[in-house]
Amino acid sequence: MEHVISGVAKFQKEVYPAKKERFAKLANGQNPEVLFITCADSRIDPNLVTQTEPGELFICRNAGNVVPPHSSQTGGMTASIEFAVAALGVSHIVVCGHTDCGAMKGAIEPEKLEGLPHVKEWLGHCRSATEVVRGRRGGLSKDHLEEVTCENVVQQLQHLRTHPAVATGLANGRIELHGWLYNIASGEVLYYHGQSGGFKPMDEEYRAAFGARSMEAVEE
């Protein structure tokens, strides 16, 4: 804990003064472009991975980067998604999974979660991913961890589409959804390619596509 407290002191003395102008603007409001949904795993730092500054990402984190399907029951994720889309007007939503995900291990072997009843119930939102892989492979084991992790990202994107604010944004072309997979060991980030149904490395074509759209928005 000592290094965490020391970090606060360093932030106040060194980091904040260097970014004082940015923080002065942020003090009066936020205007993020991206809603970034990822796992609560301590090994992931969304701003570090994306090299973004404070105010650029609206970040939601939970075990397994889960998006519960929309229902009449209010929850933290449901409220956060609605606020990001309907109030803040984000134009992109990223669901980012990661390698060696403990939540996905639990989803594969739920019988090992008997002492964690709330975790077990929460990971019920990942069941569609495990069942898809089970059906595809004729069984399910820890050897399918990466495949389940990728499929979970795809299924959470499907859940996102059930949220009214997201559905509206998709219908009018104001929102785009992205599925990512972050490899902790290599630093590589893969993206879900809808046409092929698989995950591919982020290449120049992928980056150029969004760069071109950003330029079109500026010109308009």
Report in angstroms the alpha-carbon separations of 51 from 2, 45, 54, 90. 26, 10, 10, 18
Residues 6+ apart with CB under 8 A from 112: 106
List of E strands, 144-187 = 176-182
Residue ranges at the known binding site = 39, 41, 98, 101
Q: Which residues are annotated as a binding site for Zn(2+)?
A: 39, 41, 98, 101
Provide the β-strand partners of residue 119. none
Q: How many CB atoms lie within 10 A of CB 194?
A: 11
Supply 60's token pair: 């939601």
In sequence order, what are the beta bridge partners of 181? Answer: 97, 190
